[in-house]
Amino acid sequence: MARASWRERIQAAHEERAAGSRLRTRRSVTHRDGARVEVAGRTLLNFCSNDYLGLSQHFQVVSALQDAASREGAGGVASHLVCGHHALHDALEKEIADWIGAPRALLFGSGFLANLAVVQALLGDDDVCVQDRLNHASLIDAARLAGCRLRRYPHLDSSGALRQLRDSPDGLAMLATDGVFSMDGDIAPLRELALVARVNKALLYVDDAHGVGVLGPDGRGSVAEAQLSVEQVPLQLVTLGKALGGYGAAVVGDADLIDHLAQTARPYIYTTAIPPAQAAATLAAVKLARTEQWRRGKLYDLIAHFRERAAQVGLVLLPSETPIQPVMCGDDKRALSISATVEQRGFWVAAIRPPTVPDGRARLRVTLSALHTPAEIDGLVEAIGRGRDKAEAEARVAEFLR
């Protein structure tokens, strides 16, 4: 029996993606200036960044990065448990734990690594991980790699989560969910899920990558917004690369669980620590996020303004109250067409297509930042409306010629 050709396989996969308008293109940004970016010689107003609070270029954050780099160098040099754990890492972990209101925090190189660490360190072959069907890919992959049984319930359906847990009575159980869903922008029913987890003796883990900094008192996230304690949500993920504008992640929560992760989690033990300078920058960003309430106030004013203007021109939105505002397009080609028209008018909004979202659910993922203005949002909505009208006209012509 002849062995299959890997070149033929990847070529076939490429052709299939191209035929379905699902090729992904990497764009190079040559300069960033607030909400504006330079791409291919053009300046575009960026509406697809996760820099929700506008902290990635804040002068205090950048100064902290530069000052620490001049003293401590550019790299993390080793894993935390060898010689890579710096006093700046320690200070950042303590600041995050204090902010979120948890006993301890543990830094990771990324949110993807953190999710792998949590699930793999706590679950094994005889255990179950019950997840929302629209959870981030890192949570799904974590369960698969852990070897536990993965059970997925319909989106936001706490009754479905209850059924899945009751159908898996043996071993340990984890109920894992995004706090804010990255593609739809909606918020998990955390109070109901906490009750489901308690009744079924499951550990509730919340990936709050898109909630921390944006939701809750002092920006403490969706768990705090739901008024849940560490006892109810023993572990949660805080990303450092979205509202905080930096890079990396932290898992916060119960001290014994955090210690177990530090002792056993392979993505923690066997990887280099983030650079101390990056920890210093994020430490400055956390302090700003905690205290500058006006950023969240402005952000939510902009969200309301966008939804009002979008409704006026008949854009189809999902019911999101967060900075993630999906404009539904349905067809992949239509999403690409609208995105291209919007870019021609000076705005950058990525077209999100399967497999990132389900088939038939392609969209423009508009993300808002405290750096934007109402006038800029008006221009964006007008551009999307024109792009929609152009795409509809093209579809009518194609149908006529068919």
Binding residues: 24, 111-112, 136, 182, 210, 239, 356
Round to whole Å and give the CA distance between 112 and 97.
20
Question: Mind giving me the DSSP string for 261-290?
Answer: HHHH-HHHHTSBPPPHHHHHHHHHHHHHHH
Q: Which two tokens stand for residue 101?
A: 């209101």
Handedness of CA 2, 4, 7, 11 (dihedral sign): positive
Round to whole Å and give the CA distance between 339 and 386.
11
Give the contacts of 298 (CB within 8 A, at least 6 positions apart). Answer: 370
- Evaluate whether 116 touches 138 at the Cβ level (below 8 Å): yes
Cα 199 versus chain centre, distance: 29
Report, in angstroms and rounded to the nearest whole number, the Rg of the chain calculated over CA atoms.
Answer: 22
Indicate the annotated binding residues for substrate.
24, 136, 356
Q: What is the 8-class DSSP label of residue 216?
A: S
Give the contacts of 52 (CB within 8 A, at least 6 positions apart). Answer: 213, 214, 242, 243, 299, 323, 367, 368, 369, 370
Phi, psi of 143 (to 5 degrees): -65, -40
User: Which residue has 């509730």 as its token pair?
Assistant: 204
Phi, psi of 75 (to 5 degrees): -120, 165
Long-range contacts of 160-166 (CB under 8 A, 24+ apart): 161/130, 161/132, 161/193, 161/196, 162/196, 162/199, 162/200, 164/128, 164/130, 165/128, 165/130, 165/196, 165/197, 165/200, 165/202, 166/200
Indicate the annotated binding residues for pyridoxal 5'-phosphate.
111-112, 182, 210, 239
Cα 119 versus chain centre, distance: 18
Pairing relation of β-strands 249-253 and 235-239? antiparallel
